[in-house]
Amino acid sequence: MAMTGAYALVATKNGLSFKLPNGTEAGINYVSVMLDPDDTYSLSFQRWRWKTLEKVSETRVEGIYNANLRAVFTMHTGLDTSL
């Protein structure tokens, strides 16, 4: 949260969803991280217009191993998760 500005964290049955502040490189403002049955993760990167609740775009990446979560997050959002 400190590095990315993530807020409005919501725990789901298999993962976590959160909002990102406007102004990220790729315009991503909503991320979902889900644990899949094969012990890999799926990340969904979305761009929403909150005033009209309209989903503008979505990119989904599946089959991500734990060691690659940070790199995939940074690649799609432009935000680092550590110093």
* Residues 77, 24, 11, 69, Cα dihedral to 10°: 20
Instruction: Determine the pLDDT at residue 35.
Output: 97
The CA distance from 38 to 36, in Å, is 5
Instruction: Determine the pLDDT at residue 4.
Output: 87
Q: Is 50 helix (H, G, I), strand (E, B) or coil?
A: coil
Q: What is the pLDDT of residues 33-80, one digit of tens each?
A: 999 999 999 999 998 887 887 888 889 999 999 999 999 999 988 888
The CA distance from 58 to 44, in Å, is 7
